[in-house]
Each structure stands twice: as C-alpha cells, then as structure tokens.
Structure 1
Amino acid sequence: MQPGKPGPEIPIGQHLADSIWQAQSFNLGTAGAKIFSGTAKEEFGYTVQQVENNQGKWLLVGAPWSGYSQNRKGDIYKCPITGSKNSCDKLNLQDSVNVPEVKNVNANMSLGLTLTRTPGDNGLTTCGPLWGQQCGTQNYYPGVCAKLDPVFRPQPAFSPAVQKCGGPMDIVIVLDGSNSIFPWKPIVEFLKNLLPALDIGPQSTQVGVIQYAVNPKFEFKLNQYQNNKDAISAASKIKQMSGDMTNTFQAIEFASTAGFSAQNGGRPNAAKVMVVVTDGESHDSSKTKAVIADCEKKGITRFGIAILGYYERNNIDTEKLISEIKSIASSPTEKHFFNVSEEEFLYTIAGTLGDRIFSIEGTGKGADSFKMEMSQVGFSAHYSSKQDVLMLGAVGAYAWSGTVVHQTGSQVHVLPLSAFEDSLQDKNHSSLLGYSVTTMRVGPNEYFVAGAPRSNHSGQVIVYTVDAQKQSHIIDSQRGKQIGSYFGSVLCSLDIDKDGTTDFLLVGAPMYMSELKREQGRVFLFSVTKGILNEKGFLKGPPPTMDARFGMAISAIPDLDLDGFNDVVVGAPLEEKEKGVIYIYNGKRDMSGVDFSQVQYILLTFLITIPFYITYMITGWFQ
C-alpha cells in the first residue's frame, strides 16, 4: 500500500480560462496575469512557492511525476515572475538527490511532492517521499529530502528514516567440486544469482568461497572483494576442481576456522553464515558431531543444500543424503535446508536463500529498528521559524499509523508510536498521521499540528508540543464527523488580524459527502485558545449537488480588500466538471458564518495548485 492524495489523478498546470465573477470585483482580477504551463503527465504545478533571490523573483513549481512514463523521479521548475519570459527551466535535481552509502532507489521517488520555504537559511526544502533504498533483495521507502540554497542549488540529501540494512555479516560458501557434480555451470550460475541478493560491502556483507572434494581450498576470501560486481565476476571464473572423494566435514571444519579467521578477512563483530552445497554423502561423516558442535559454539548459522541429481540419475535412494545435509543445517531445519532434483535447478532457490540470509537475527535489524521502513518521510512538510524545526509527515510509519519527524539542523527526532497511540486509538494501523502538518502560534507559545485523515475512518487532527527533553505532550485532538471524509488531510493556520497569533485553524475534509451523496467537501473552522481548538462551524462552499472536493486546498492570502484582515482561498478541484473552482473569503475578526465573497471558475485543475496560482494573479499584494 502506498497512500496518495485522495481522488483521481487529474492533469495539472493547464491554462487559466476566462473568469466568471460572482461578487465584488475588487478582490481579484486576471488582467495581466502571468501564466506558466507545464506537462500534465508530470503533475506540473502540484506544489508552488514564490521566492526572491539576487537573480530576481521566481515561481518554483513542483512536478513530482517528472520522467513519466519511464519513471516518476520528479523535479522542480523555476519560472521567472518578472520580465517577458513565460517558460520555466527544470532544475534537474533528479540525479543529485542521493543518500550516500546506501543503494538508492530513485525511479519513482516523486521529488517535488512537497516544497516548503525555510526562512532560517533563506532556502527551500523539497522531498520525494517515495524514495527507496535497497537492502539485499528488499526495497524500503523511508523517503528523502534535500534543501535548496537561495539560488536553488541542491544541498546534500537526507533521509531521517533511512534504514540500517543490517550489521556486518560474513558469509562463507562451501561448494562440492567432486566428480559427481555434473554439469558444473549451474553451480556457477547459482553463485551469480545468489550474490546480487547480498549487500556486499566493507561495512556490511563479506563473502568468501571455498571449494572442496578431497581437500578444501579458497576460491576467494572474505575481504577479497568489496562489492557485488567484483564478487560476481570472480565467482563466474571458478573452475571445478574434481576429485573422487567428498570430504564435506573436513571442508566445513576448514571453513569454520580458516574461512572466518581474522587473517582471511573475518570480523569479530560480524554475524557468521555458512552455505554448504553438495550432491553426495560425505566420506568423513564420522566427524559430523564434533564439527557441527564446533560451528554451534562459534555461532555460525548454517544452510545445507542437497543436489539430488547424481542419486536420481543412478537410481540411488536419497534418504541418507538428505538426512546428512539436514544434520548440517541450523535449526529450525525447514528454514535452513534446501534440496533440488538437478544441478540445473539450483538457481531457483537463490532468491529465497538470499532473503533468508538477509533476515537472520543479529544482523542489526532488531524488533524496534524496522518501524520506519515504509514511512515515506516528507509526504508533507512545514517549517517553524520560531523553533527552527522542519516538520516532516511520515504517513507510512508504524504500519501506516503514521508519525511526524522533527528536524533541526542535523538533529532528527522521530516521534515514537507511543507519542500519539492513545490519541489515535488506531486499532487498524491506518491513520496516516502526518498527511498534513502545520504550526499555530499563540502568544509566546507555538503548537505543532498534524492531520490523520484515516484515523478511525473519520479523520483526526492532533495538537501537541515537544519539550526540551524531546517528550511530546498532546494538547488537544479533534475528530471528523463523517466516515471517509478525509478530515485532517489539509490544514491551514490563519492569523486574521496580522498580530502574529493564530486566530483560526482551517481543516479540510475534501471527501465530505453531502446529503445528496456527492463528494461536496467541507472546510471546518476552529478558533484557537492556548492550543485548544473550538469548533466554529464551517465555511460555506459549493452547493450539495456538486462533486467538488471543496477543501482539497486551503491557503491564507494577503488582505485583498484592505480592511485590515487577511483573507482565505479554498480550492474545489472537481467542481465544474473537473475544471476547478476557487472560493475567496474576506477575513473577519469572527469568521463564523462568513460567506465567500467571490468564486472564480478556472481551467486549472487539481488540489494544491489552485490557491498558489491565485497569489500570482495578485503578486502586487503578495510581495
């Protein structure tokens, strides 16, 4: 499951059409508006920010599906507000946003899905919440973010929830090279299929190979190759040694001593894994008990693989062979023993074997460390200049309950499951907390706010603080009134009278159903007192006959009518047969019962873009 903004995928970034005004004309006009167009398939316009630097005034536009249809890496465009140029230039951030020392999976990361200004450093932060990393054969999606400096150069990428693929692991593969193995090529192909599943590197997994028949010998040692490519290349060149004896336990003993020794690359803090591949009963089975006991004492996890081809070709009973290889395998046997009917079928177990090796306990992936592996950090973002905290929503954390990550400089604080567990009461682990984030200022205090649109199916908004000891404290919580409304998916903190204090919190429920069973949408209004939310009704929006998704986008905008109060704009992207409509509300000291002052019908579609486009039709006010 990978959550996305609710609703169908609708093109973004199309031209504005002629406007139809239904209220006071002083509010907003499109005469002289500067319009930038982008590719709808790239989701051009999903996020927008206006910035100014020493090179001019710019509109930065997110296109999180840039690269489609080959990929959805995403990117950012810069569009000049001043001057005659109406086209935008791509920043080409896709290949520069990488996390060092991990296997990056950038193909569908959706960079630009979030874009927020960070006034503390006069820059911006953009995130790709579907950025992944590869651990063995598994992909995880912790999300990635990168700051842009004032002239839009990307700074080193960071992933607050990046996974530790596992602690150091030393793997010694013991191959039977006796005469009965035929043909030899499938043995090499088995290695070439297994090695890519292992995270080979000096700080992670090392692999050595020993071949035996009468006597064992190194094909290569643990520290000989430092990456998958070199190890695979070496494995592909291994030749069968041949021999008329199969001294399996002598080879295991050699591997357990020399194979894992420090002299040959073994690391004292590494988990030890041995893989034994053979096609026949050993000639030294009398050593079984002592050799396996020594492996147990050294903490070596063993996988036994029996190739039955020679026995079946010669009509020999396989029972004793299978019994012997099972005696080599660690417990539980069913997880550490494999058999294949022919050498040609060895490749079929390589993937499963790699996964089982990767999941071995003791490799650094304890019970508590894999709760953020699908967190999608950066699904939402908001910067608190008062506390210099970058809030990052992580909707996939803790099995989709979600959480919020607070980042200050290089310091990362991931709020634990326990921080919100009692408030969410999320029995189904699907609240998606962090879908939206913002802050509210009340006097000298600032409160963090996070939306969880699937909490108990009706949605929820949680207000909290974090003390100096990084302990969170829930101040208030409000639940939605209708199942499936996505209450809390959009948050807007509103300072009506420009005194620096949050007067209202607007909460979007864009899938709120009207009595006519239409997704009309609704925006709930809460006044704020010491962080406590007091419901004051909702904003009047589209008629109940409309599938409008009113409230999919909400933005505070400057004082349009110059009455001393800031104003509000709300988007309804599916209204007018998906052409999109924006509603403008003139601010009042008491917003209860305030009707919209203007409706503008546009051909600009989709959720987030609409209110930001308005700011560019009124750049004189906004700047």
Structure 2
Amino acid sequence: MGIDVKLFLAGFCIAHTQGFNVGTAGAKIFSGPAVEEFGYTVQQISNDQGKWMLVGSPWSGYPQNRKGNIYKCDLNASRRAPCQKLNLADSISIEGVQSINVNMSLGLTLTPIAKPNTLMTCGPLWAQRCGSQYFYPGVCAEVSPQFTLQPAFSPAIQSCGGPMDVAIVLDGSNSIYPWPDVRNFLIKLLENLDIGPDKTRVSIIQYSEDLSFLYPFSSDKNKDKVLSAASGIEQKTGEETNTFEALDYVRQTAFLPENGGRPGATKVLVVVTDGESTDGHKGQEVIERCKRDGIVRFGIAILKQSADIQKFIKEIELIASTPTENYMFNVSSEQALINIAGTLGDRIFNIEGTSQGQEFQLEMSQVGFSAHQTNKKDVIMLGAVGAYGWSGTVVHHTAGKPHIFLKNAFEKTLDDRNHSSLLGYSVTSVSDGSSEFFVAGAPRAVHRGQVIVYSVNSQNQPIIVVCGLQIGSYFGSVLCPVDVNADGVTDLLLVGAPMYMSEEKSETGRVYLFTITEGILSHQGVLEGPSASENARFGTAITAVPDLNLDNFSDVVVGAPLEGNGQGNGQGAIYIYYGDRKTIRKQSSQVEHTNNFIYIYIYIYIYIYVCVCVCVCVCIIHR
C-alpha cells in the first residue's frame, strides 16, 4: 500500500465558530511506498521554479538498504502527479572518513533553518568504519532551494584512534605445529587492523632461541603489501623458547625511529606462544621495563597437554596488560587461533577507538535523530539519543561549529543507571520574551519519561525537569511550543505521551499542556482526545498551525495515527484545537479520519499566500 500525502484547501469560517474548518474535498494527493515510510517528514519550500513539498522517506531502499531518500512534489502539478526522488543519500561523504552509506535513514529529520528556503536533513544511522568496527555518529546536511545537498557534517565523528605501532611477536620454535595455522591467524589479524601510513603500522617478529625481524615498521605501510609479506612467512624453528629475551629486544629496538617507530604512536605488543619459556626468570624484570615504556601488551597462549598449564598461564598473565581478561587469550591449538583473530583485532583497535574498552561515549550517538532551528535563528539543536551508552545528549550547532553537551551536563538530572533515557529524542526551544530556553525530551528516563529545560550558561545545568506520570508512556517523545497570540512569547509547551495507557488498558495516548515562566514549566492539564478504549496513540505528532478559524490565534493539530485500527479499517485521525488568547481550548473543534492512511496525515492550510505543512506520522518507538 502506498502512503498518500494529502493537500487540502481550508474552508473559510466565522471567527469563534465550532464548525468544521478544514475541507477534505478536492484533495491533492502525493503517493509513495509505505515500506519506505514515505511521508515520515514533510516540509514546503519555494524556489524560482515554483512551490514544492519535500517528503522524507527514511526507509527508502528497504529491505536491502534503508539508506533513505527525499522526494520533491510539485504543488502546482496535477492532482495525482508523481513525486521525484532526489537521491541525496548517494552524495553523503565526509573528507578523510570511511563512510558507510547504508541503512542511514536519511530524511528521518527534515527541518527549516535560518537560510531562506533551505532545509536540513539528517541520517542518524549513518555509519563510519574504523578498522573492523562500525560506529553510528549520524550525519546532517543542508538541502538548498535547488534541491542540492550541501557538504555534510557529523559532530560526533570518530577519530579512529591515534597512530598505533603494533609489534606482533610469534613463537617459531619446533613445538609450534602446524605452522600454516599460525600464518592464517596472522593474516586474519592483519585484516582486522586499520593499517596505513598515518594509522596502524605493523612489525612482525619471530623468535625461538634468538630473534628475527621479518617485517619492521619502516617497511611498506600499504595494507595489501603487508598481507602479501605475511602470507610468505616460514617457520624459524628451534629447540628453545626465549620469550622474555625476545620481548626485551623488541622493546628496545622495534619502536625506534630508525625501524619506523613513531614517537607519538601508541606502542602495542602481541605475543603468541605455545608453552612455558626457557627464560622465565627474566619475566618480571622485562615486563616492568615494558610498563615503564608505556607498551600495551596482549598475550596469546596455545595450551597443550605437554605444557605445565598452571605455570604457563601465570606467565601469560604476567605478559598481558591489566585487566588481564581484556588482554589475554588462550586457545587449545594452532588451528583455533583464527577464531580469536577478529576479537583480538577489535581489542587492539579499542585501545584508541572506544575509550579503551569502556562504555561508549559518542561512537553510537545517532546525531540528527531530532532537529530544531531555535527562534533566535543562531542555534540548530540536534538530538543524539545514542550518546553515552544511550543516555543521550543534545548538540548545539552554531555558525557551522558544533557544541556537544558532555555526559556530566545532564547526568545527575537523568540519573540514568540503565543507560536508556534517550535524551534528544525530541528537541525544541521556548521564549519568555527576553530569554530563550532549550528543551529536550528523554522518553525513557526514570521509565516514565522526562522533559529537560535548560539554558546555556557557565554551568550548563538544567533549569527544571518535568517527569511523566506513567511508566512506559513515552512522555517527552514529542514537543511542540505554541505562541498562541503571535507576540514572540511561547504561551504553551505541549508534550506528547503517545503510549499513555488508559484504565481500559488501551494505549490511548495523552498530550500535556505547560506554561513557561522564566524557564519553569507549570502543568495546565491535558487535551481531551480519543475515548479511553482506543489504541490511538494520540500525541504521536503535534504541530502548531496558523489561525484556522480567523480569530487571530494560532491553533494546534494532534495526530492519533492508530485510531480506528481495532476495527480493522486502518483509519487514524487528527484532532484540531483552537487557540484562545494565551492558551488553547482543551476540547477539539474537529476530528478528521482518513481511510487507509495509518502512517501520515498532511493538511496544508493556504490563506493569503501562506502555505504551512502539517505532518502527523507514526514514530518508530523502541520500548
């Protein structure tokens, strides 16, 4: 089933009347694939070619690749004119970054910015590859009035760690057998490292009674040539296993500049051996020297029945950095080495790539999950729900420069022990006339959801936090400021809790009203919406619209996208609420059902050359 975007010419009504005020006859319909989430976001712009509606389709490419897309729809075209794909996702790239332009969901956000007729779109699941790891920092870019994508930016882009010099020390004594299995392990490990002149460099050393440099850091830094050299390494052989003598020699010589070592690079040593060394008495002294030189050490033990297992394990534990569970591996045979190569490569990368193996910071931040241009037009707010282990945060993008709020800015407020607040799921701003305040929703905070109001000051501390009343209601997933009388002051902040459950155990949904005084929110009741028996998810989307009933006050539209689904008719509904001085009436003036449009309802009110798009869509809500 395609999703239709409907365009209606509003009827003219007498001020303060309660009659229907949005006409549904003669609709202009734009259709797109339902599986692509066509219509998830909608905005209107004008250019020298006419008036257009841009429609986000964040799952475009499904099921193979949800890279996302944006359609342009000509508002002057015939009644059922097709929309055209802009194919902007293919243009996303950031210099010096290995971009993974798949499943990015471009078009999930689509918001106007300060530049005339210019929009910003984001793909919060845009991925970046660092070595063998994939991060999801998210990406955003401006869309010009001519529908071209401007240079993309990603505030949470990862550096893929600093330069790293990795010395791989292989036991080549006679007891290592079969040697091709060790060689296969080496190749697989190298494939998982981000090898390059300014990235990871590798030195390969083999030892038994003495030591041989097979591939110093100063050799070619091209990954393919390193792999080619590794595939030809033959076993050294020998009766003795002088492990610590080899490690001390590597410590002293391998990392020197004349051998290709870099002064600022992280030093990493990987040793693979199958038994107790013949020079174990030197172990403690050699490892202390390695520690003083700042060398990170991985120990891989091949456990065999012929070895004194307990003594051998203690020796490998001595070699490995702490905590040993992160830096020590053991396998039962040479053949089993290949099973740990990928994990070992990831852990080597993690030394620089993910805060040394600790919890994620900004690697999975998904910047652009929500977006908002502030009233003063100098800050673009971007939600980053995946930051800090999915506690979430907010990014302020000002004059092309991002400011990411650190974990401690909201940590005490969220008290997010389970890392699931999703702060930044929704973002907006409000004004009391003299000051602007920023607002961010965290629908899973303390299980009930929170709305955080804050200003940018020396402490960057939240001013106030308002919590939801019901567990699982997703309070704060939708935010809508309303300036009812158009005086530049935010009269109300509407907060959606679309999964609020009624006493009849239905996900009816609820919308809360708050007034704002010096950044302080005061509860003013709720909007009257669907019956308590409806699984409507009322409040899934909320938007303010210009005056519909000609009383000089702005009005509000609220979506209930699942209303009527229980009867199998797939209707959904939107509710219209009139503005009244500095508030809105809690009883709706009109409820409009539209058959078969579960995901989206678009009403565009046209009055005196002003066109405003209103989109109500189902959000993908992860419980």
Please, what TM-score do these two structures have when normalized by structure 1? Answer: 0.86
The amino acid of 2:331's aligned partner reads V
Match of 1:74 in 2: 68
Pick one of 595, 599, 602 that aligns with 2:587: 595
The amino acid of 1:614's aligned partner reads Y
| Partners of 1:178 and 1:466 in 2: CA distance | 63
Match of 1:83 in 2: 77
Pick one of 424, 441, 444 that aligns with 2:434: 444
The change in CA–CA distance for 1:247 and 1:182 in structure 2 (over 3 A counts) is: same
Match of 1:6 in 2: none
| Partners of 2:270 and 2:357 in 1: CA distance | 25
Give the 5 Å matches for 1:486-497.
Answer: 486-497=474-485
Please tell me whether residue 382 in structure 1 is matched to residue 376 in structure 2.
no
Q: Is the 8 A contact 2:317 2:324 kept in 1?
A: yes
1:508-557, Cα deviation, whole Å (9 max, x unpaired)? 12122223222112222223333333332222222222111111111111
Give the 5 Å matches for 1:270-419.
Answer: 270-279=265-274, 291-307=286-302, 328-330=319-321, 335-360=326-351, 365=355, 370-419=360-409
Note the residue ranges of structure 1 that are not aligned, 5 or more in a row: 1-10
Q: Is the 8 A contact 1:26 1:561 kept in 2?
A: no
Pick one of 424, 430, 433 that aligns with 2:420: 430
| Partners of 1:178 and 1:131 in 2: CA distance | 47
| Partners of 2:342 and 2:395 in 1: CA distance | 34
- 3-state SS of 1:37 partner: strand
| Partners of 1:418 and 1:333 in 2: CA distance | 30
| Partners of 1:563 and 1:18 in 2: CA distance | 20
The offset of 1:330, in angstroms, is 4.4
Give the 5 Å matches for 1:15-30.
Answer: 27-30=21-24
| Partners of 2:173 and 2:167 in 1: CA distance | 18
Match of 2:620 in 1: none
The offset of 1:490, in angstroms, is 1.0
1:315-362, Cα deviation, whole Å (9 max, x unpaired)? 6766776666555444555554444333212112213322433344x7
- 3-state SS of 1:348 partner: helix
- 3-state SS of 2:455 partner: strand
The offset of 1:180, in angstroms, is 4.5
Please, what TM-score do these two structures have when normalized by structure 2? Answer: 0.86
Question: Which of 595-604 and 322-331 deviates more?
Answer: 322-331
The offset of 1:63, in angstroms, is 1.1
| Partners of 2:321 and 2:464 in 1: CA distance | 52
Q: Is the 8 A contact 2:114 2:377 kept in 1?
A: no
Please tell me whether residue 62 in structure 1 is matched to residue 56 in structure 2.
yes
Match of 2:214 in 1: 219
| Partners of 1:363 and 1:41 in 2: CA distance | 35
Give the 5 Å matches for 1:503-514.
Answer: 503-514=491-502
Q: Is the 8 A contact 2:241 2:277 kept in 1?
A: yes
| Partners of 1:105 and 1:492 in 2: CA distance | 33
Pick one of 149, 158, 168 that aligns with 1:173: 168
The change in CA–CA distance for 1:343 and 1:400 in structure 2 (over 3 A counts) is: closer
Match of 1:7 in 2: none
- 3-state SS of 2:148 partner: coil
| Partners of 1:399 and 1:149 in 2: CA distance | 34
Q: What's the RMSD between the two structures over aligned residues?
A: 3.3
Match of 1:4 in 2: none
Q: Is the 8 A contact 1:581 1:601 kept in 2?
A: yes
Q: Is the 8 A contact 2:375 2:429 kept in 1?
A: no
The offset of 1:272, in angstroms, is 1.2
| Partners of 1:337 and 1:463 in 2: CA distance | 46
The change in CA–CA distance for 1:574 and 1:240 in structure 2 (over 3 A counts) is: same
Match of 1:113 in 2: 108
| Partners of 1:419 and 1:67 in 2: CA distance | 38
- 3-state SS of 2:341 partner: helix
- 3-state SS of 2:32 partner: coil
The change in CA–CA distance for 1:333 and 1:511 in structure 2 (over 3 A counts) is: closer
1:31-62, Cα deviation, whole Å (9 max, x unpaired)? 34321111111111111111112232211111
The amino acid of 1:480's aligned partner reads G
- 3-state SS of 2:355 partner: coil
Match of 1:266 in 2: 261
Q: Is the 8 A contact 1:209 1:221 kept in 2?
A: yes
Number of equivalences? 601
Match of 2:616 in 1: none
Q: Is the 8 A contact 1:551 1:570 kept in 2?
A: yes
| Partners of 1:12 and 1:223 in 2: CA distance | 59
The change in CA–CA distance for 1:202 and 1:32 in structure 2 (over 3 A counts) is: farther
Q: Is the 8 A contact 1:16 1:604 kept in 2?
A: no
The offset of 1:584, in angstroms, is 1.6
Give the 5 Å matches for 1:84-103.
Answer: 84=78, 86-103=81-98
| Partners of 2:316 and 2:74 in 1: CA distance | 70
Question: Which of 582-591 and 217-226 deviates more?
Answer: 217-226
Q: Is the 8 A contact 2:561 2:571 kept in 1?
A: yes
- 3-state SS of 1:357 partner: helix
| Partners of 2:479 and 2:60 in 1: CA distance | 26
Pick one of 508, 515, 518 that aligns with 2:503: 515
1:237-278, Cα deviation, whole Å (9 max, x unpaired)? 334455666554554344223321112221112221112223
The change in CA–CA distance for 1:457 and 1:339 in structure 2 (over 3 A counts) is: closer
The amino acid of 1:393's aligned partner reads G
The change in CA–CA distance for 1:569 and 1:184 in structure 2 (over 3 A counts) is: same
Give the 5 Å matches for 1:535-550.
Answer: 535-550=523-538
The change in CA–CA distance for 1:619 and 1:212 in structure 2 (over 3 A counts) is: farther
| Partners of 2:502 and 2:468 in 1: CA distance | 14
| Partners of 1:582 and 1:552 in 2: CA distance | 10
| Partners of 2:288 and 2:503 in 1: CA distance | 73
| Partners of 1:107 and 1:534 in 2: CA distance | 43
Match of 2:14 in 1: none
The amino acid of 1:587's aligned partner reads G
Taking only the aligned residue pairs, the percentage that are identical comes to 56
The amino acid of 1:615's aligned partner reads I
| Partners of 1:606 and 1:433 in 2: CA distance | 27
Q: Is the 8 A contact 2:537 2:561 kept in 1?
A: yes
Q: Is the 8 A contact 2:19 2:589 kept in 1?
A: no
Please tell me whether residue 189 in structure 1 is matched to residue 184 in structure 2.
yes
The amino acid of 1:352's aligned partner reads T
1:195-253, Cα deviation, whole Å (9 max, x unpaired)? 23323233432212123456533332325454544433432233445566655455434
Q: Is the 8 A contact 2:354 2:360 kept in 1?
A: no
1:340-390, Cα deviation, whole Å (9 max, x unpaired)? 333212112213322433344x77826999433332221111011514101
Match of 2:617 in 1: none
The change in CA–CA distance for 1:509 and 1:294 in structure 2 (over 3 A counts) is: closer
Pick one of 557, 582, 591 that aligns with 1:569: 557
Match of 2:142 in 1: 147
Note the residue ranges of structure 2 that are not aligned, 5 or more in a row: 12-16, 613-623
- 3-state SS of 1:95 partner: helix
The offset of 1:406, in angstroms, is 0.7
| Partners of 2:65 and 2:397 in 1: CA distance | 29
The change in CA–CA distance for 1:202 and 1:556 in structure 2 (over 3 A counts) is: same
Q: Is the 8 A contact 2:218 2:258 kept in 1?
A: no
| Partners of 1:527 and 1:333 in 2: CA distance | 55
Question: Which of 342-351 and 104-113 deviates more?
Answer: 104-113
The change in CA–CA distance for 1:229 and 1:25 in structure 2 (over 3 A counts) is: farther
